[in-house]
Structure 1
Amino acid sequence: MRNQTFDKLKAIACILIILIHCKFPSVFGDLCEALARFGVPMFFAIAGVYLVKNEDSDIRSIRSNLLRKLKKTVSITFKVWLIYTVYSFIYAMTVKYGALEWFNEKFNLFEFSRLILFNSGKFIYDFTYAFDHMWYLFALIYVYGLCYIFAPLLKKGALPISVVLMGFLYFGEFLQIYYPIRPFGISVSVWYTIRNWLFVGIPFTLLGYYIKNNNVSLMLKQPLTVGSVLTITGIFSTLMEFKKWGSVEVYFGSLLIVTGLLIAACSNTDKKDSDKEASIVHRSLAFVGRELSSNIYFYHVLVISLLGWCIDRVNAELYGSAIFMYLRPVIVITITILISIFIYKVKFITIKNDKNLRK
């Protein structure tokens, strides 16, 4: 039976992620961004929860499930990347950027090497849409591929591998803040040296897998209390870390939030709410997480870029308006949700028509 709590968490996470790329102004925006940093790690952790169908699956079944997920992720990644690449070319032409210059800047050996090593680079982002949010998809391909290869080690290796890699993650962030070294000529201060498939994708996916398949919630006397305490502690920790060090890729508080929410969600039985209005809210959140969250994540950067393109041509002075800058994230969230609903409806109608034709 599907755990709708994870769908609700995906809904909240995907909305908060927009606030990283389209911030509210002032300190309020900075704090929202800091708290939203748990979003992508949460997506990886939920992917880990659903990494295998059940804890008793044999290696063949695990690999079969992972191969299906891998093929689906590769297909989705290619489609999303193609949409953004076509958009980037069209955008570049509208601002009189040379086609050859655009091509050479994006598709070269250096940018391709950054994609392969770090899931980043101008292969998946450029000046036309500025954010490399697609790194998540490329990292997820690596995660599924490596879990497929090392499936026999999943059960015993999930926790120690996750702990070791998270240790490297936070050690790397320590270096970014205090000792910005340059191993192999690459500055450790560059965001993608820490935020990639190895130090974020794999450890958080394995964390989700471990908590779910080792029934961590069942081993705790009061899992909801423990989960709530960890989550609240993580929120305060994130805020204190932001005050001390400013913006970082993955706060230690983000780890606490993800762990707390995983424990709470795995222990949640999803009982029906007695309050009718509350149940509508919960059902709506579950629907957004289940059906819309992926497309919200995929296309919010496109909406941000398009909105910026329009504002630059209509009234660039709007960027100087505090009221507009507070409304801008709300506008982006609203448009992105509406686009995602449209995509869902088209997909639903298409599948329904296909079924009718087969009858």
Structure 2
Amino acid sequence: MRNKSLDAGKAMAAFGVVFIHVSFPGQTGQIIKALARSAVPFFFMVSGYFCYYNRRNTDRGKRITDKIPAKVQHILTLLAFAVLFYFLWESAMHLVEKEAIGPWLQEMVKKEHLKELFRYNSTSQLKPHLWFLPALIYCYILDYFIEKLHLGKLAYLSVPVLLGYFLWRAYFGRFQGVFYHTMEYRNYFFMGMPFFLTGQMIHEYEKLLDRKLSWQVLAVGGLLGSGGIIWEYFQAGAREVYPGNVLLAVCLFLLCILYDTKSRRLEYLAVLGREFAFPIYLLHPSVAELMKKLADFLGISRNPAYLWLRPILVCGCTIFLVRAVSRLWSSQQKCGIVFRRHN
């Protein structure tokens, strides 16, 4: 049986990713963006949670061989689709803006940019938000070797160390005058693996956590994390991540895992998270670009009402587009249009 709370959490996290890239105006928008930065750690924990298997299983080797490579292949397929889509999209945008495509292509395949892709999962030359997919592939590959070499418990012990390095590079280091480029901490190793492994740990010790943690404790933890993020924003200004994001993401994930709801009120959110979280993540930048061009054409791009509605409109239009494409694709398959047999 699917976890409705977790599916709804995935939908909220997808909206959080949208709010990171399409901000509400003013300081309120920056606070919402700071809170929304818990979304990516949440998604890494989801991936780790569903990649867990029982280490006491005697058929461990076979399960590794079957499970992780299949997941890598799935993400590679999604990444290939995303790269193709945004290559065509950016090419079309260059043509619309009457800009030369050649220099853009040359810039994208420069040696230093390819090194950043393979070393740090940086996809900034195409679309920055796509970095999550190669990072997740690296996490699966690392987990494959962790399990093959029976290093699961040791990997769990590395989680606080990796989180410490991550927060030092992303947040605390700046107070000592040490600065890191975003890609030097927002990558598979410092951001991906600690949360990925945390998701696995939560799965392994789920029964124990269920006995020890009440929903009230997790709710208070989430509120403390949220309050910490807001306080950290006012103290340190805009950052890529805050320590409070770690607490908020973990508490929300535990609430979803341990306290699944049966309420019908979350049904629509659960459906969105189950079926459309990835398409929302993938397509929202293109929807935002189209909306910006439309707003410029209509002369409302600086209108306060539009600026406040813009993130919500991007979410709504992206959902509408995804659902429309999904229904069209489904109807075509049923009618035999997509894979039509030729005589």
Under a length normalisation based on structure 2, what TM-score does the superposition of the two structures give?
0.91
1:298 aligns with 2:282: yes
Q: Identify the match of residue 255 of structure 1 among 230, 246, 260.
A: 246
Q: Identify the match of residue 171 of structure 1 among 153, 168, 172.
A: 168
Residue 350 (structure 1) shift: 5.1
Q: Identify the match of residue 245 of structure 1 among 236, 239, 251.
A: 236
Distance in 1 of aligned mates of 2:97 and 2:64: 49
Under a length normalisation based on structure 1, what TM-score does the superposition of the two structures give?
0.87
1:149 aligns with 2:133: no
Change (3 A) 1:28 1:122: closer
Residue 348 (structure 1) shift: 3.5
Residue 222 (structure 1) shift: 3.7
Letter of the 2:324 partner, please give it.
F
Q: Which has the higher contact order (CA 8 A, sep 6+)?
A: 2
1:211 aligns with 2:202: yes
Change (3 A) 1:214 1:55: farther
Contact 1:300-1:336 at 8 Å conserved across structures = yes
Letter of the 1:242 partner, please give it.
Y
- Which residue does 1:226 correspond to in 2? 217
Residue 194 (structure 1) shift: 1.3
Contact 1:227-1:262 at 8 Å conserved across structures = no
Contact 2:170-2:239 at 8 Å conserved across structures = yes
The 5-angstrom pairing of residues 108-187 of structure 1 reads: 108-125=110-127, 132-152=128-148, 153=150, 155-174=152-171, 176-181=173-178
Q: Identify the match of residue 329 of structure 1 among 290, 297, 311.
A: 311
Distance in 2 of aligned mates of 1:262 and 1:122: 29
- Which residue does 1:8 correspond to in 2? 8
- Which residue does 2:96 correspond to in 1? 94
Deviating beyond 4 angstroms after TM superposition, the runs of 4 or more aligned structure 1 residues are 53-57, 350-354
Instruction: Show CA shifts across 1:26-54 (max 9, x none).
Output: 11111110110000110111111101355
Change (3 A) 1:163 1:222: closer
Contact 1:234-1:256 at 8 Å conserved across structures = yes
**Structure 1: where are the runs of 5+ without partners?**
126-131, 182-187, 274-278
Residue 56 (structure 1) shift: 4.7
Residue 64 (structure 1) shift: 1.3
Contact 1:143-1:201 at 8 Å conserved across structures = yes
Distance in 1 of aligned mates of 2:65 and 2:160: 23
Residue 173 (structure 1) shift: 2.4
Deviates more, 1:215-224 or 1:141-150: 215-224
Residue 145 (structure 1) shift: 1.3
- Which residue does 1:194 correspond to in 2? 185
SS of the residue corresponding to residue 318 of structure 1 reads coil
- Which residue does 1:184 correspond to in 2? none
Distance in 1 of aligned mates of 2:24 and 2:238: 15
